[in-house]
Amino acid sequence: MIIKLKEGERLDDLQRNGYQIIQDPARFCFGMDAVLLSGFARVKDGSTVLDMGTGTGIIPILLEARTGAAHLTGLEIQPDSADMARRSVALNHLEEKIDICVGDIKEAGTLFKAASFDVVTCNPPYMIGQHGLTNPDAPKAIARHEILCTLEDVISQAAKVLKPGGNFYMVHRPFRLAEIMTLLVKYRLEPKRMQLVYPFVDKEPNMVLLEANRGGKSRLTVEKPLIIYEKPGVYTREIYDIYGY
């Protein structure tokens, strides 16, 4: 099958299994947060995985490359992004392992059977509301701001589609950590692991990686900090390992 690129699109090498991904810089390109989430998530062999707000499919493709998941599904509300994701899946000959569905995170609990996934992942919009946005319908705005879904939408729907004992993985911003923990507990997703991500060792954290277990007992492990750069332009060994270099 010949996969054609549309105007403005490019092919990026994922450094995993020879996989590539189609992206359009004018719309939205995946960032380090998606890569870190794929490295943080623990997916057992034979698991079924749902990635909510999958964008161009980066997390399902990376998880397929590094885990023994039986099947992965990406849910994306923007048809153009979902189309890129589908073509990337076909480009990497992963049609039997990865499905891309067009749909709303807020409706995940009706789009999929209740308690049907072992793992749910999400790299959601970080920013609250539309303050200061000149074009809230733009793909980049939708990816970064809670325009089409809220944090509570993400967590409540993840709880619906997760099997009892299943795990939810999310990357977010530390400034919303209290809200995140409150919502996880509200929907009986018990926080189990947390890792703060720092750009440099002497800077404040700018990301947090979280694992929560549906119906789990209360016990949270805080993992050692993850530092991105040794110095400007030079990743730490941990980051190179996650990227697969």
96-123 pLDDT, tens digit per residue, is 999 999 999 999 999 999 999 999 999 9
Report whether pLDDT(147) > 80: no
Spatial distance between the Cα atoms of 216 and 73, rounded to a whole number of angstroms: 24
pLDDT recorded at residue 4 = 83
pLDDT of residue 28: 81
Measured CA to CA, the distance from residue 68 to residue 48 in angstroms comes to 10
| 3-class state of residue 69 by DSSP | coil
Provide the mean pLDDT of the chain.
91
Distance (Å, rounded) from C-alpha 123 to C-alpha 14? 18
Among the four given CATH numbers 3.30.70.890, 3.40.50.150, 3.40.50.720, 3.30.1340.10, the one describing domain 10-243: 3.40.50.150
* Cα–Cα distance for residue pair 64/87, rounded to 1 Å: 16
Q: What share of the chain is helix, strand, coil (3-state, %, to 5)?
A: 30, 30, 40
pLDDT tens figures, 194-235: 999 999 999 999 999 999 999 999 999 999 999 999 999 999
Domain residue ranges of the chain, discontinuous segments joined by +: 10-243
Identity of the amino acid at 36: L
For residues 157 and 51, the answer to whether their CB atoms sit within 8 Å is no
